[in-house]
Structure 1
Amino acid sequence: MSGGNASGLVAGISIDLKRLHETWMEIVYPRQVDADETVLGKWTPSSRRSRITYRLWGIAGVPVIGLLYPFVLLGYVVRAQADRLDGVAARLGAIGVVGALAVLWGGLSIVAWDQFTRAGFIAVLAASLVAVVAGLLAYLFRRVGGRFTTVLVAYPLGVTALFLPPVVAALYSPTIADVVFAQSEAVAKWINTNLLDVFDINDRLRRTYDLRGVAHVGMWVGISVPVGWLVGFVVTLANLVRPSRPE
């Protein structure tokens, strides 16, 4: 990495951290974010007591910012991909989105009809239909709703539209299963170990449920909602720290 690139990276990180800290300060105090160049300027406390609480609040935000900034960086990457998909969807329109998903998952259904049993073909076809409907709903909620609707509804539906059919197909194809189910088990182990290790929830799940067959589908359908929310959360953070340029 050249010196110029390194200094530019450091400057970008400094700007991000400054804006994050200003956002934290504005939770309690007025005129903090991007207020330096305004007529009124940044608000500062006047009394000794208020200056102490102001500084303490600023110090309290340091670990919070340290925890959030990796998600901001992830948000930049996810936002770039989401913007590309959103741009493609905007150019295609609702009918185009339905058509593209129908072609994509219709092709998978044709393969299932040729390679799988009748039950396998019906399962993949049903998953493909669900994915197409989910994709259409994701497009509509993204277009007619605001940020809250996009994060709460559109992103989870988008994840379902992209991942449900191949997971169902993996139930009937050893080749696909080797990839999808191996990843499913790795994801399930990580969730159990890192996210559900409270009140013995993970131990109860291991004793009660076995991740086999259709359980993989249930797991991925269940994951699509929090994954969609996580995507929306990191993209929202990225937009908060470094807003997208208007097209």
Structure 2
Amino acid sequence: MGTSPDLFAAVRIDLARLLAAWRDLAFDRPMDEYAARGWQPASTPARLAYWLWSAVGAVLIAVGYPFVVLGFWIRYVAHQLDRIVTGLGVLVIVGVVALVWGGLSALAWNRLPTAGFRAVLAASVVATVSVGLCWAFARHRSRALTLIFAYPFGVAAVFLPPVTAALFSPTLGNVVLPGSTSLAAWLLDNVLGVAGLAATIRAQFDLAGFAFVGMWFGFAVPIGWALGLLVTLADTVRPQEREPRRR
């Protein structure tokens, strides 16, 4: 990460580029970057339109740029995780995840009741499989596969283990499952209550058992896509050179 002066300089460059790109959507400015600085149309009506268009762009950029910054941060974290996986190897990473959860499952075998052991074991399987699938789709270096599949499975690796464990652990279930039910009801009433969609979902699906896992995997998909889109937005504003993949 850069120092504060470097960071502010980078932000200023980003904002200037975004505003220039916005102006280019409606006005035919000089292609040369130096000649385009300070350029404006010759006629008074065109200048007014130019500055009005610039003002609208400045407002939109001010609203949207925080999302770009969030995309920078997500990209940085994803890049660091990718370096760790590349350095250690995916088998090592998946093996560590499986070892950690397997160790917890072994401890749960003697120290927890059957329901608790099943909870830990189910969570270990979900976490290990999700991490493996996330890597499998990300390794191809395809933006489409990474956006559509890798990010959702990465989010699923965080969401699904505690939800899966809650199905078998009464203690955890008393916290996670009622909250999940309340969240689902709120979404149906306030987000999906369009054209009778909420009524159809309530009639066709019963939120019980592994339906909670399906529900949270359904949440992982749009959340993962949103994270991926933020990274794509960051790459568009400030492209990052991709390092050659080690073999």
What TM-score comes out, normalization by structure 1 length? 0.70
2:116–2:169 CA contact under 8 A, matched in 1: no
Q: CA deviation at 1:213?
A: 3.5
| 2:213 equivalent in structure 1 | 217
Q: CA deviation at 1:99?
A: 0.6
Q: CA deviation at 1:133?
A: 3.1
2:105–2:117 CA contact under 8 A, matched in 1: no
Name the CA distance, whole Å, in 1 between partners of 2:168 and 2:212.
12
| 1:84 equivalent in structure 2 | 80
Larger Rg: 2
Q: CA deviation at 1:168?
A: 0.5
Name the CA distance, whole Å, in 2 between partners of 1:51 and 1:146.
43
Name the CA distance, whole Å, in 2 between partners of 1:192 and 1:145.
36
Does the residue aligned with 2:129 lie in a helix, a strand or coil? helix
| 2:93 equivalent in structure 1 | 97
| 1:166 counterpart = 2:162 | yes
Name the CA distance, whole Å, in 1 between partners of 2:206 and 2:223.
22
For residue 17 of structure 1, what is the amino acid of its counterpart? L
Name the CA distance, whole Å, in 2 between partners of 1:183 and 1:167.
11
Q: CA deviation at 1:151?
A: 1.1
Identity in percent? 42
Q: CA deviation at 1:187?
A: 4.5
For residue 153 of structure 1, what is the amino acid of its counterpart? F
Q: CA deviation at 1:233?
A: 0.9
Aligned length: 239
| 1:110 equivalent in structure 2 | 106
1:112–1:169 CA contact under 8 A, matched in 2: no
| 2:226 equivalent in structure 1 | 230
2:115–2:169 CA contact under 8 A, matched in 1: no
For residue 231 of structure 2, what is the amino acid of its counterpart? V
| 1:136 equivalent in structure 2 | 132
| 1:68 equivalent in structure 2 | 64
What is the CA deviation profile of residues 156-175 of structure 1, one whole-angstrom value per residue up to 9, with x for unaligned ones? 12222333222101112233
Does the residue aligned with 2:139 lie in a helix, a strand or coil? helix
What is the CA deviation profile of residues 35-88 of structure 1, one whole-angstrom value per residue up to 9, with x for unaligned ones? 635xx757x787869878866765554564355333223323333332332222
Does the residue aligned with 1:196 lie in a helix, a strand or coil? coil
For residue 33 of structure 2, what is the amino acid of its counterpart? D
| Change over 3 Å in CA distance of 1:128–1:31 after alignment to 2 | farther
Q: CA deviation at 1:218?
A: 1.2
| Change over 3 Å in CA distance of 1:194–1:21 after alignment to 2 | farther
Which shifted more, 11-20 or 163-172? 11-20
| Change over 3 Å in CA distance of 1:145–1:13 after alignment to 2 | closer
Stretches of structure 1 lacking an aligned partner (at least 5 in a row): none
Aligned counterpart in structure 2 of residue 36 of structure 1, from 33, 36, 56: 33
Q: CA deviation at 1:220?
A: 0.9
What TM-score comes out, normalization by structure 2 length? 0.70
